[in-house]
C-alpha cells in the first residue's frame, strides 16, 4: 500500500443544521463532544499503528463545525496526530464558523498546531444569511477574518456561496469585494446546490423557494472568477482561488489522487494498493455509533470497496480534470479523451486535459 501523507478528521457537530446542508452534521448534543474527541483520538492512534501513514504533509479538521471543539480538544487530537508524525511545514487546517473565531480561540488553535483557518463566511448579505439559516452576521464574518489575521494566522481562507435566491449579481460581487479587502490568502466560491434530502430540497419541490436559473448562477460564477483573477488570486480548481503559494495542499492531494485517511463519523478513506487498485473505506455515519465503535475497537468501519486498476485510473482522470493544471490520468483512455475534447467538454492544456469550465476561466 502506498504511504499515506494526508489525514482528514471529521467533526459532525453544528449548533444548528442549516436547511441546505447535506454533510454528515448533527445539531450538537450536550455532552457528546468530549467522548467523540476521545474516540477520534483512539481511532487516530490505532490507524497509526496499523497503516503505513506519515509523516503527514496535510491534516484537515472539517465538519460539521470543528470550531465547536475547545482549543484543548483540538490540542488533544493534534497530539495524537503528532504521534503518527507531522512533516516539517505540514499544512494543518481547521474549519471555523465566524462566531467561534474569538481572540482566545485563535491563540489556542495556533498553539495547538493549526496553521490554516478556513472560515465559513458564505455571504455578507443579511437576507442571504437568513435564507441560509446561518447564525452569524456579515459583521461577525468580517470580524472573524480580522481576528484570525491579527491573532497570527498567515493562511486564512473564506468559503462563500453564490446563487442564493434573492441575491443579485451586484450584491454577490459586493460580498466578494468586501472579503477580498480583508486580505484572505484563499477563497472558495461554491454554487448553492439543492440536495433532495434537505429542507431546502423540500422547499424547492413544493414551490416555496425558487432557485435562480442556470444562466444567473453561471453569470455570478464567471463574474467572481474574473474579479478574483484580476485581484491576484489565480484559479486552481473549479471552486477555488488563492494567492500564489496558498492553494489548499490537502485538497490538491485528493484531486491529484493521492491516498488519504479519513477518521471520524462518516469519514471516507482512499488507499492506493500495490497492484494499482484503489481501496475506499468509510466509517459509520452516526456520532453515537461512531463513539461506541471507535472507543471499543479504535475502528468504526461501515463498508469498503476495491476499484480495479482500470477503474482507479478512470476515477483519477475524473477527479483530476477539475484542476486548472489538468491531469494526464485521462491519457490511459485515448478514445474517451479524444471524444470529450472533440465535444468541447474537456480542453487540452500543456498536453493535459481539464474541464472546459477551467479553460473558459483563464
Ligand atoms: S454549519 Fe456547515 S456543516 Fe453545519 S449545518 Fe450549516 S452548512 Fe452544514
Tens of pLDDT, residues 246-294: 999 999 999 999 999 999 999 999 999 999 999 999 999 999 999 999 9
Where is 109: in which H helix or E strand? Answer: helix 103-112
Angle between the N-to-C axes of helices 138-150 and 103-112, in degrees from 0 to 180, rounded to the nearest 10: 50
Query: In this structure, what C-alpha cell is assigned to residue 251?
Result: 485538497
Give dist(CA 114, CA 201) in Å, integer: 35
Q: What is the pLDDT of residue 360?
A: 55
Strand partners, 117: 94, 156
- Which residues have CB under 6 Å of ligand 1? 14, 17-18, 21, 23, 25, 63-65, 120
Q: Which residue has the cell 499503528?
A: 49
Give the residue, by CA position, lying nearest to ligand 1 atom 8. 21
Q: What is the pLDDT of residue 350?
A: 86
Give the residue, by CA position, lying nearest to ligand 1 atom 7. 21
Map 281-314 to HEC letters.
Answer: EEECCCHHHHHHHHHHHCCCEEEEEEECHHHHHH
Confirm if 88 and 130 have CB atoms less than 8 A apart: no
Ligand 1 centroid to Cα of residue 197, in Å, is: 14
User: Which pTM was predicted?
Assistant: 0.96
Going from the C-alpha of 316 to that of each of 6, 256, 321, 356, the distances in angstroms are 17, 7, 9, 18
Give dist(CA 354, CA 219) in Å, integer: 21
| Ligand 1, atom nearest to 97 Cα | 1
Query: In this structure, what C-alpha cell is assigned to residue 112?
Result: 495547538
What's the CA dihedral at 222, 225, 227, 229 to 10 degrees? -140
Q: Which of 15, 19, 21 to mutate to test the pocket of ligand 1 (most atoms within 8 A of CB)?
A: 21
Give dist(CA 188, CA 158) in Å, integer: 6
Ligand 1 centroid to Cα of residue 33, in Å, is: 16
Going residue by residue through the chain, which has 362 residues, state the pLDDT in tens, using 9 for 90 and above.
999 999 999 999 999 999 999 999 999 776 899 999 999 999 999 999 999 999 999 999 999 999 999 999 999 999 999 999 999 999 999 999 999 999 999 999 999 999 999 999 999 999 999 999 998 999 999 999 999 999 999 999 999 999 999 999 999 999 999 999 999 999 999 999 999 999 999 999 999 999 999 999 999 999 999 999 999 999 999 999 999 999 999 999 999 999 999 999 999 999 999 999 999 999 999 999 999 999 999 999 999 999 999 999 999 999 999 999 999 999 999 999 999 999 999 999 888 999 976 555 55
Give dist(CA 87, CA 322) in Å, integer: 27
Ligand 1 centroid to Cα of residue 192, in Å, is: 13
| Ligand 1, atom nearest to 16 Cα | 5
Q: Which of 26, 120, 188 to mutate to test the pocket of ligand 1 (most atoms within 8 A of CB)?
A: 120
Give dist(CA 71, CA 90) in Å, integer: 19
Helix, strand or coil, per DSSP, at residue 316? helix
- The fold of 4-255 is TIM Barrel (3.20.20)
Ligand 1 centroid to Cα of residue 26, in Å, is: 9
| Ligand 1, atom nearest to 134 Cα | 6
Ligand 1 centroid to Cα of residue 14, in Å, is: 6
Nearest to 57 by CA among 271, 254, 264, 315: 254
- Please give the sequence-ordered ranges of beta strands (E in DSSP) within 97-153, or none if there are none: 116-122
| Ligand 1, atom nearest to 63 Cα | 3
Q: What is the pLDDT of residue 358?
A: 58
* DSSP per-residue string spanning 125-140: -HHHHHHHT-SS-HHH
Longest dimension (CA), the chain: 57
Give the residue, by CA position, lying nearest to ligand 1 atom 3. 64
Give dist(CA 29, CA 165) in Å, integer: 31
Q: Which of 20, 22, 23 to mutate to test the pocket of ligand 1 (most atoms within 8 A of CB)?
A: 23
Q: Which of 12, 22, 64, 190 to mutate to test the pocket of ligand 1 (most atoms within 8 A of CB)?
A: 64
Give the residue, by CA position, lying nearest to ligand 1 atom 2. 64
All structural domains of the chain with their residue ranges:
4-255, 322-362
Give dist(CA 257, CA 351) in Å, integer: 19
Ligand 1 centroid to Cα of residue 307, in Å, is: 31
Ligand 1 centroid to Cα of residue 71, in Å, is: 20
Q: What is the pLDDT of residue 359?
A: 56
Burial of 17-35, coded b for 16+ CB within 10 Å and e otherwise, reads bbebbeebbbebeeeebeb
Amino acid at each position: 500500500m502506498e504511504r499515506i501523507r494526508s489525514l482528514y478528521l471529521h467533526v459532525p457537530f453544528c449548533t444548528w443544521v442549516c436547511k441546505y446542508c447535506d454533510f454528515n452534521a448533527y445539531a450538537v448534543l450536550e455532552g457528546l463532544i468530549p467522548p467523540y474527541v476521545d474516540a477520534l483520538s483512539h481511532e487516530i492512534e490505532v490507524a497509526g499503528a496499523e497503516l503505513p501513514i506519515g509523516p503527514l504533509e496535510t491534516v484537515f479538521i472539517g465538519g460539521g463545525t470543528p470550531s465547536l471543539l475547545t482549543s484543548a480538544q483540538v490540542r488533544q487530537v493534534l497530539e495524537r496526530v503528532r504521534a503518527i508524525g507531522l512533516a516539517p511545514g505540514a499544512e494543518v487546517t481547521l474549519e471555523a464558523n465566524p462566531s467561534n473565531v474569538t481572540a482566545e480561540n485563535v491563540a489556542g488553535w495556533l498553539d495547538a498546531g493549526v496553521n490554516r483557518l478556513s472560515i465559513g463566511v458564505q455571504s455578507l448579505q443579511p437576507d442571504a444569511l437568513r435564507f441560509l439559516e446561518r447564525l452569524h452576521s456579515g459583521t461577525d464574518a468580517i470580524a472573524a477574518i480580522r481576528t484570525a489575521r491579527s491573532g497570527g494566522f498567515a493562511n486564512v481562507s473564506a468559503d462563500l456561496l453564490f446563487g442564493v435566491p434573492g441575491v443579485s449579481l451586484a450584491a454577490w460581487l459586493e460580498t466578494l469585494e468586501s472579503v477580498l479587502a480583508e486580505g484572505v490568502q484563499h477563497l472558495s466560491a461554491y454554487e448553492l446546490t439543492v440536495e433532495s434530502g434537505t429542507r431546502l430540497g423540500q422547499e424547492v419541490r413544493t414551490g416555496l423557494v425558487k432557485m435562480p436559473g442556470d444562466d444567473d448562477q453561471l453569470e455570478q460564477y464567471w463574474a467572481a472568477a474574473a474579479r478574483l483573477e484580476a485581484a491576484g488570486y489565480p484559479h486552481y480548481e473549479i471552486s477555488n482561488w488563492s494567492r500564489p503559494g496558498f492553494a489548499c495542499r490537502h485538497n490538491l492531494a485528493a484531486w491529484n489522487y493521492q491516498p488519504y485517511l479519513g477518521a471520524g463519523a462518516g469519514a471516507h478513506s482512499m488507499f492506493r494498493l500495490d497492484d494499482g487498485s484503489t481501496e475506499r473505506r468509510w466509517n459509520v455515519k452516526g456520532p453515537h455509533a461512531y463513539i461506541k465503535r471507535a472507543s471499543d475497537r479504535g475502528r468504526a468501519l461501515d463498508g469498503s470497496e476495491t476499484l480495479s486498476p482500470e477503474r482507479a485510473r478512470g476515477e483519477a482522470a475524473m477527479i483530476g480534470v477539475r484542476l486548472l493544471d489538468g491531469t494526464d490520468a485521462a491519457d490511459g483512455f485515448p478514445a474517451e479523451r479524444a471524444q470529450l475534447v472533440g465535444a468541447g467538454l474537456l480542453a487540452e492544456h500543456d498536453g493535459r486535459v481539464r474541464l472546459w469550465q477551467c479553460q473558459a476561466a483563464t
